Copies of this chain bind each other. A is one copy, B any other.
Amino acid sequence: MLNFEYYNPTRIVFGEDTVKRLDELVPQDARILILYGGNSAIKHGTLDEVMNALGQRVTVAYGGVQANPEYEHLLGALEKIKEHEINFILAVGGGSVIDGAKFLAAAAKFADEDKWKILEGSQITAALPFATVLTLPATGSEMNSGSVISYRSRGLKRSFSSPLVFPKFSILDPSKAVTLPERQTVNGIVDAFVHIVEQYATKQTGAAVTDEFAESLLRIIIRVAPTLIAEPENVQARGDFMWAATNALNGLLRLGEVGDWSVHGIGHQLTALYQIDHARTLAVVLPGVWQYKLEAKQAKLAQMARNVYGLQGDDERELALAAINKTEEFFQQLGVGTRLADYDLGKDDVKALVQNLEKIGATSLGEDKDIDLNASREILLSRL
């Protein structure tokens, strides 16, 4: 097992009927920006519930955060923060809204007028406190310190992280997820699954606890996925998935392991250029990365075949290939296309995607930093 450091001060409040706890969790004198996404938070009453719980506190709502939160749209929220002397941000939604809140928390205290620098690696030294009410389990953003922001007019999608942007608390009420459209449920399943394997399916480092935790979460996600789709109102299944998705990316699964994250690195370009749902980009890229890195990942993929898919056998390579096939099948059974052609993309698009990787300097991806532009091209061409 490799040396590691772990720190995660986010308080989790999990369960049905927990939104009302906002009243004790948010400071009485908070001046709150409530950040949310589309109309579902209004339609299903979550926003009302939040407002009721916050009582007499000053609140300013800012909606319209879309999947892949957009830099220029968030700058509008930053204006509100200044105008209303906001000192607390509450994200009500899924990973996109929460990632947006993290950016705003940092940007509000960032001296430079060019806030995009935060996404270009400038260190932040302060942030507004913020918290979340999670309605869409998927990204783990509710319990980590990372954020991904898109700059659509420039075709960019970049991330930043800082211990200063851990949520103070996150309310996880699984009953809030029962109204999710199937497409978002499915995206959440794929997203959480890939978060796990980006950390797990790399080298054998012998981190027993982390490996077994990862395998546990993969088994649970595979097990509850059909229920989430067949019985969207099953709160038990929503809860199991919600907590699994949080643990998939709260730091626990990277401990003592080497992360890959090339699937995200390449997938982000599919979203940046073609606005494909984040999760679906992962489903397209993942089998290609695993095939390309078969030799390096063989031991761990064979372990996954045994411990996650329950397969047996002596041939490590066969088992590793079976894990890749099983995983692609899992995505397909969820109705998620795993080929570029499923999204009407072809060879020319691969060229554009690789150019984008070059533009952002993504020339050494993966756990061995050996996925250069040629390798990314090969991976993408294998997914036509």
Contacts and interface: CB of A to CB of B under 8 A. Distances in A.
Interface of A: 1-16, 18, 206-209, 212-213, 215-217, 219-220, 223-224, 236, 239-240, 243-244, 247, 255-256
A12 B7 contact: yes
Contacts of A239: 1, 256
A11 to B, nearest CB: 4
A9 B168 CA distance: 11
A219 B209 contact: no
Given A206-B236, A240-B209, A12 B3 contact: no
29 contacts: A1-B236, A1-B239, A1-B240, A1-B243, A2-B15, A3-B14, A3-B15, A3-B16, A3-B18, A4-B12, A4-B15, A5-B11, A5-B13, A5-B14, A6-B11, A6-B14, A7-B12, A206-B236, A207-B243, A208-B220, A208-B224, A209-B216, A209-B217, A209-B243, A209-B244, A212-B216, A213-B213, A213-B216, A215-B216
A208 B9 contact: no
Contacts of A14: 3-6, 255-256
A7 to B, nearest CB: 4
Contacts of A244: 208-209
A16 to B, nearest CB: 7
A355 to B, nearest CB: 40
A131 to B, nearest CB: 13
Given A216-B209, A240-B209, A5 B12 contact: yes
Most buried by B among A10, A206, A243: A243
A239 B210 CA distance: 12
Contacts of A243: 1, 207-209, 255-256
A16 B220 CA distance: 33
